[in-house]
Structure 1
Amino acid sequence: MGAITAELLKLKRSLAWPVVVLLPIVLVLAGAATQLARGTQPENGWDTVWLQSVGFYGLFPLAIGIAILGSLVWRVEHRGSNWNALMSSPIPTLRLVVAKTAVVAGLTALMQVVLVLAVIAIGKLAFGLPGMLPGKYHGIGLLLILATVPVAALQSALSLFLRSFAAPVAVALVASGISTAALLALGNAALASPYGLATRTTLLSTGSFADSGTVTAGDVTAIVVASLVLSVLIVAVTTAVLNRRDTRI
């Protein structure tokens, strides 16, 4: 917990917070922009608002947002002599990797909370939709928090090994595009990719790409298992590689 607390203290004045708050809000507004401009109502109410907002968000903006968060979380360590100081510290490698991953995943989780709140706000305040956002979408939002952990772990690893701020973001953009194409071609087999896993989760219940339009127990189970396996695997590989670096003592 001490390592995680130290990482959280570094985020006090971080640019990560605007990303967490503004990215999902902008994407929700962009999804509703056309109908707001025309003054028309969503054809299928909450379902349409969710699809227009979250469906597009999951194709590549989500991965890019996580990549930016990863780069921001590792930014301090790549300045001056901070890297050598960190690598020569007595903190076990696994604890360091887990702490950084936990911070990126935590910020990503908050981003999903803002996303759901923004969807509710646009549905109620802009379109005056009756009732509230259906419970299944709240469940998908919670599932998305878990499904983005592997992406957070991978982007944290990329930002660990790449000093460039932009390089991990570029990787996320390309990888999310490939994973989206894989969803079309391979269906749930694309869950083997952290980016495909996150995108697949945002598309649950939308009837788009590989989704059937309904949330099945099989889909949820596959997403949960893939999230856990990929998270553990990425953290383990990152720890093993970091342990072999010359600057790690």
Structure 2
Amino acid sequence: MLKRCIVAENRKLHASPIWAMFVVLPLISAGYGTFNYLQNLEILTERWYSLWTQHTLFYSMLFFPAMVSAYAAYLWRLEHMGHNWNLIMAVPVRPFDLFLAKFLVVVKLMCFTQVFVYILYLVCGRLFAGFTDWPPVSTLFFMLRGVLGGLAVAAAQLVLAMLIRSFAVPIFLGLVGGIMGMLLGSKGFSLLWPYCLMQQGMNANRSEDMLAGNAVPFLLACAGWLAVVFVIAGVVLEKRDVKA
């Protein structure tokens, strides 16, 4: 049943308008980051690392939460139309399978987004920043860690999009979560808020590795927040129908 749910969720992406956002927002983020890097060469002296900080700062804080929120809201859009929730609760599929299928599809989109962001980083570094070498391998690990940090964000936004019929409100809440993540991260509370984890994993706005010698607490926080959100989603879906 889970496999069939995943297939159904993937069909929603065919000719979907979210692909335009998938392209445009990373392009804006990369353009701004590259411009800011080129305008501050006297300060940003660590080449690929400095360019990475500029590319990932606003992406991890604003663009990523907005994109994941839009992915989640779009996948719940059909369920919120008409009386579709009544039909879903009547079909022989565990409600949590539906949520898990949407989560896996959002994670797939999130991975595609991360790869696209990294390709833009490479292109901007080689063409516009004039680098003749290649980025440090550590930036690849930053990207992968960003995926791990983003899992709880994806799950949380799916819960919000499940409970809120509006398409725009969950996206707004995702932006608020990202901004709060920046503020809490700057105070040293990165592990206490799921939206901080993506920023920390990406090593946004830092040249030195933020997780050097501290990877285990980060991984535990990622797993812990994801488990908490899954439990909340399971309780909501099993104990009561989501009002349509």
Same fold (TM over 0.5): yes
**Of residues 200, 212, 215 in structure 2, which corresponds to 1:220?**
215
Structure 2 counterpart of 1:126: 128
Structure 2 counterpart of 1:210: none
Q: 2:223 is aligned with what amino acid? A: L
Of residues 93-102 and 238-247 in structure 1, the stretch that sits farther from structure 2 once superposed is 238-247
Structure 2 counterpart of 1:193: 193
**Structure 1, unaligned runs of 5 or more:** 208-212
Residue 39 of structure 1 and its aligned partner are, at CA, apart by 11
The 1:246/1:127 distance shift into structure 2, 3 A limit, reads closer
SS of equivalent residue, structure 1 residue 60? helix
Q: How does 1:111-190 map to 2 (within 5 A)?
A: 111-185=113-187, 187=188, 189-190=189-190
Structure 2 counterpart of 1:233: 228
Of residues 198-207 and 4-13 in structure 1, the stretch that sits farther from structure 2 once superposed is 198-207
Q: Is 1:67–2:72 an aligned residue pair?
A: no
Q: 1:152 is aligned with what amino acid? A: A
Residue 13 of structure 1 and its aligned partner are, at CA, apart by 1.7
Of residues 216-225 and 140-149 in structure 1, the stretch that sits farther from structure 2 once superposed is 216-225
Q: How does 1:51-62 map to 2 (within 5 A)?
A: 51-62=53-64
Residue 144 of structure 1 and its aligned partner are, at CA, apart by 0.9
Distance in structure 1 (CA, Å) of the matches to 2:72 and 2:57: 23
Residue 149 of structure 1 and its aligned partner are, at CA, apart by 0.8
SS of equivalent residue, structure 1 residue 163? coil
SS of equivalent residue, structure 2 residue 92? coil
User: What is the TM-score with the length of structure 2 in the denominator?
Assistant: 0.90
User: What is the TM-score with the length of structure 1 in the denominator?
Assistant: 0.88
Residues 75-99 of structure 1: CA deviation (Å, up to 9, x unaligned)? 1211122222222221102211111
Structure 1 counterpart of 2:14: 12
Question: Which is bigger in relative contact order (C-alpha 8 A, separation at least 6)?
Answer: 2
Residue 43 of structure 1 and its aligned partner are, at CA, apart by 3.2
Aligned length: 240
Structure 1 counterpart of 2:240: 245
Of residues 239-248 and 176-185 in structure 1, the stretch that sits farther from structure 2 once superposed is 239-248
SS of equivalent residue, structure 1 residue 73? helix
Distance in structure 1 (CA, Å) of the matches to 2:242 and 2:160: 17
SS of equivalent residue, structure 2 residue 107? helix
Residue 178 of structure 1 and its aligned partner are, at CA, apart by 1.8
CA contact (8 A) 1:205 1:214 kept: no
The 1:247/1:214 distance shift into structure 2, 3 A limit, reads closer
Q: 2:222 is aligned with what amino acid? A: S
Distance in structure 2 (CA, Å) of the matches to 1:90 and 1:121: 48
Residue 129 of structure 1 and its aligned partner are, at CA, apart by 0.3
**Structure 2, unaligned runs of 5 or more:** none
The 1:164/1:214 distance shift into structure 2, 3 A limit, reads same
Of residues 57-66 and 239-248 in structure 1, the stretch that sits farther from structure 2 once superposed is 239-248
